[in-house]
Every structure is written in C-alpha cells, then in structure tokens.
Amino acid sequence: MTTTTISASTLETFPNPAPQRDFHIHMEIPEFTCLCPKTGQPDFATLLLDYIPDQTCVELKSLKLYIWSFRNTGCFHEAVTNRILDDLASATQPRYMRLTARFYVRGGIFTTVIADHRQTGWTPVPMVQLADFASQSNTRA
C-alpha cells in the first residue's frame, strides 16, 4: 500500500465577497477516493461540505487537488473525515463548517461520518422558514 504526505498548505483561499452576513456554501465532491489501511483496497465516498465563511472562502481548484491527494493514502473513514475538516477549517477559519463523508458499501456496510467545526462564540442567526410552494409551471397540461 502506498502512502502520500498530504499538505494542507495546498488549500488556497480568496476573500469572502460578503463578510457582513452569514451565507451558506454547499459543495458536493462525488469522487473522493482513499485506500483501506488494512487491505490497501480503494474506498470511495461522496463528500458534502457545508460552511459559513468568515473572512475567506476555499478556492475550488486547490480543494480538488487537495482531495485528489488522498487517492494513494491509507486511512480509516473516521480519521480522514476529521483530518479534511481540520485542514479546511485551518485554511479558511470559517464561522461554521460541516463535512459529511458518505462512504460506499464495503463488506456489506455503508459508513457515514459527520464532523463539525464552530468558531468560538459564533451562533447562527435564526433561520427564516418560508412557506413551501408546490412546483408551478405554465408548460404542464
């Protein structure tokens, strides 16, 4: 099994275009791959990254390259999820960040790992619940 040293320093950021407000960034990364540390076989997952930025946002190409760097690295699901969250939180210093890692079936078991990071002292603004409306279309018969 091959292992690679992964550097969080490859994560680049850019200034938050609206630091005066909380807004939610959602990313889906459907092609995450790492290796099982026991067997060396590949593990596949979809990563869901949700965060509320403070002063910076993560740059997408650097995120892609960072995520790809795990392809030849042996790691347990729980460890890799927490490591990615720690590296992203360190790079961006978000108000809030959640990483959900949905691993594909292995040995008849699906594993989902969810890890959160919250900036000290930050609490979310209460969410406004708008009414749900049925889908409307003037093209339906």
Whether residue 141 has pLDDT greater than 60? no
- Contact by Cβ (8 Å): 93, 117: no
Residue 3 is predicted with a pLDDT of: 53
Q: Is 36 a catalytic residue?
A: yes
Supply the pTM of this predicted model: 0.85
Residue 54 is predicted with a pLDDT of: 97
Whether residue 1 has pLDDT greater than 70? no
Query: Residues 22, 36, 54, 86: which is the catalytic one?
Result: 36
Residue 137 is predicted with a pLDDT of: 58
Q: Is 50 a catalytic residue?
A: no
Residues flagged as binding site for substrate: 58-60, 77-78
Tokens, residue 21:
């407000």
Domains, the chain, with CATH or none: 27-118 (3.30.1130.10)
Whether residue 56 has pLDDT greater than 60? yes
Dist CA 119 CA 107 (whole Å): 37
Instruction: Give the ranges where the chain is alpha helix by DSSP (H).
Output: 60-68, 77-92
| Tens digit of each residue's pLDDT (9 = 90 or more) over 107-132 | 899 999 999 999 999 888 887 887 76
Residue with tokens 């008849």: 108
Residue 126 is predicted with a pLDDT of: 84
